[in-house]
Structure 1
Amino acid sequence: MRVELVPAEATSLAFARDLTRRAMLPYYREYGLLWIEEAFDEAWGWREQWLIKEGETVLGFCSLSQDRQALFIRELHLVPEQRGRGVGSQVLETLADWAAQRRLPLLRLMVFKSNPARQLYLRHGFVEMGEDDCFVRMQRVIG
């Protein structure tokens, strides 16, 4: 399996929004948060948007931003039938490589406390830096 990240076009917005909503809505409900479609759509314009593909098959999508210190994983979602195949692991390693290429010392993300993906991040060298009522802030040192 060879997974690649390709730039998402505006035509992928509906797919990405739907995938994110379906993946995150249970956590939003658990923590009493409100899902706002417009907020997702607005962020689409200022973040880097990438489709996760294997050949012509779209496996998921990720959304990134960066500052002087870190590449931030804002969203990372796989279609349900692609989970558990190592796709997320490949994406995380690709993003760590990108952070290094951009000369950024950190790869960062936030994850819902109850999200099992938290274990995936720990296995890939992320450490927990703090938490609030519903999120854990994590980062991985690059290099």
Structure 2
Amino acid sequence: MKLVPATDAHCTFARDLTRRAMLPYYREFDLLWIEEAFDEAWGWREQWLVVEGEQVLGFCSLSQDRQALFIRELHLLPEYRGRGVGGEVLEELAEWAARRRLPLLRLMVFKSNPARQLYLRHGFVEMGEDECFVRMQREVG
């Protein structure tokens, strides 16, 4: 598994994958999915494809501040979920944060998303929550 830069040509793939993965949670928590918001964020976030050889397995979207690398999105195609790929991506991103001299890797996850367990297994701790989301972080370096 490796992460390669996504281009604007991958935006539709990434948006559709995100929508399919997140729509059940948006419905559960009575939130509105806004296509334009995804497309706008595409321009200012770091966008990466998760690939194995020539096969695209998914994508992740990142941002950072002076303290943390934020995982804004991390989505795999359904056939690649539950195979350890997500864990590999998390470990790779922890290394990136350390190389960038950032002490933290952060994310938010819907409360009911089973990926929450994946994050806990990979060293993330829950820092707080609201009606929909749990804020999580992992120390790196």
TM-score for the superposition, normalised by structure 2: 1.00
Code of the residue aligned with 2:5 in structure 1: it is P
In the alignment, the residues of structure 2 paired with residue 86 and residue 117 of structure 1 have an alpha-carbon distance, to the nearest angstrom, of 12
Secondary structure, in 3 states, of the residue corresponding to 1:100? Answer: helix
Residue 24 of structure 2: aligned partner: 26
In the alignment, the residues of structure 2 paired with residue 84 and residue 127 of structure 1 have an alpha-carbon distance, to the nearest angstrom, of 21
Residue 55 of structure 2: aligned partner: 57
5+ residue gaps, structure 1: none
Residue 121 of structure 1: aligned partner: 119
Q: Deviations over 1:74-98 (max 9, x none)?
A: 0000000000111000000000000
Code of the residue aligned with 1:6 in structure 2: it is V
Residue 37 of structure 1: aligned partner: 35
Q: How does 1:83-122 map to 2 (within 5 A)?
A: 83-122=81-120
Secondary structure, in 3 states, of the residue corresponding to 2:30? Answer: coil
In the alignment, the residues of structure 1 paired with residue 23 and residue 82 of structure 2 have an alpha-carbon distance, to the nearest angstrom, of 20
Code of the residue aligned with 2:119 in structure 1: it is Y
Residue 73 of structure 1: aligned partner: 71
In the alignment, the residues of structure 2 paired with residue 121 and residue 89 of structure 1 have an alpha-carbon distance, to the nearest angstrom, of 8
Q: What's the RMSD between the two structures over aligned residues?
A: 0.3
| Deviation of 1:123 (Å) | 0.2
Runs of 4+ in 1 over 6 A off after TM superposition: none
| Deviation of 1:33 (Å) | 0.1
| Deviation of 1:31 (Å) | 0.1
Q: Deviations over 1:88-124 (max 9, x none)?
A: 0000000000000000000000000000000000000
Secondary structure, in 3 states, of the residue corresponding to 2:87? Answer: helix
Secondary structure, in 3 states, of the residue corresponding to 1:63? Answer: strand
Matched, 1:7 2:5: yes
Secondary structure, in 3 states, of the residue corresponding to 1:39? Answer: helix
In the alignment, the residues of structure 1 paired with residue 102 and residue 26 of structure 2 have an alpha-carbon distance, to the nearest angstrom, of 31
| Deviation of 1:52 (Å) | 0.2
Percent sequence identity is 84
| Corresponding residue pairs, total | 141
5+ residue gaps, structure 2: none
